[in-house]
Structure 1
Amino acid sequence: METNATTSENLNLYEKAENYTKTSLDLIKLKTVSATADALSTVTSRIAVGAVVAFFTAFLNIGISLWIGKVLGEYYYGFFIIALFYLIVAILLHKTQHKLIKTPIGNMIISSILKDSKN
């Protein structure tokens, strides 16, 4: 009689463990899908905004170059001045890339990962 009760309890325990494992796997799958969807939607929206900003910047630079060139008498002078401006900006960014770019982006990624792991 005792062996039947023990066998029944073991089967019940086995079923509970199996259900727990299946539920845990389903939860992991859902969290993965949620994180992937969130990442893809964020990347997609940032690409869209970046494209609009890039077009705006390109047309603004062409307009400023033409205006400076008209003021100086030759249109290509304006383009040279704008190119020199971007060369100076690139040099400054290269010199300060850790402070201005790497550290803030790294901190943002770490805080995003830690925020997701707390939930």
Structure 2
Amino acid sequence: MTDDTTPIATLFDRAEDYGKTTLNLLKLHAIDKSADVVSSLASRLAIIMTVVFSVLIVSIGTALWLGKLLGDAFYGFFIIGGCYALLAIILHLFRNQWLKYPVSNSIIKQMLKPKTA
């Protein structure tokens, strides 16, 4: 049985196989990084939601307690609402350095983190 392929044809076949393998490797690497980032964000979201519900319940309790001290329940809710409005203004003023940059840096760091075996 003789081999009719020339060295050039063999080279092209190997180059094609190499290109397909490289493309598949890049796809798998992108999928791995995307899954890593999404799972990291999902776990952080679960923690954030737990903290939000805890703060909500504590806020209601504090508002009721303050309202009892001040004589009417709605006074406590006004005070707690005012505190949250002040917090919202502060967060708005410092949103880039406290929220935007740390979140984007975290995502970039997660994407560029070398894969550990």
Q: TM-score range by the shorter chain?
A: 0.7 to 0.9
Offset of 1:44 from its aligned partner? 1.7
Which is richer in helix?
Answer: 1
**Larger relative contact order (CA 8 Å, sep ≥ 6):** 2
Q: Offset of 1:114 from its aligned partner?
A: 4.0
TM-score norm. by structure 1 comes to 0.80
How far apart in 1 are the matches of 2:112 and 2:36?
15
Unpaired stretches in structure 2, ≥5 consecutive residues: none
Partner Cα distance (1:100, 1:57) in 2: 19
- 1:59 matched to 2:57? The reply is yes
Letter in 1 for 2:64: L
Secondary structure (helix, strand or coil) at the match of 1:57 reads: helix
State the one-letter code of the partner of 2:14.
Answer: K
The answer for unaligned runs of 5 or more in structure 1 is: 1-6
1:38 aligned residue: 36
Considering only aligned residues, what root-mean-square deviation do their CA atoms show, in Å? 2.1
* Matched-pair identity in %: 41
Please give the TM-score of this superposition, normalised by the length of structure 2: 0.81
Q: 1:4-57: per-residue Cα shift (whole Å, max 9, x none)?
A: xxx611011111101111110110111121012112212221221122111101
User: Quick one: distance in 2 between partners of 1:107 and 1:33?
Assistant: 20
Instruction: Report how many residues are paired.
Output: 112
Residue 27 of structure 1 is matched in structure 2 by 25
AA paired with 1:37? A
Query: Among residues 98, 101, 109, which one is paired with 2:99 in the alignment?
Result: 101
**Aligned counterparts of 1:22 and 1:112: Cα–Cα separation in 2:** 27
How far apart are 1:113 and its partner, in Å? 4.0
What is the Cα deviation at residue 73 of structure 1?
Answer: 1.2
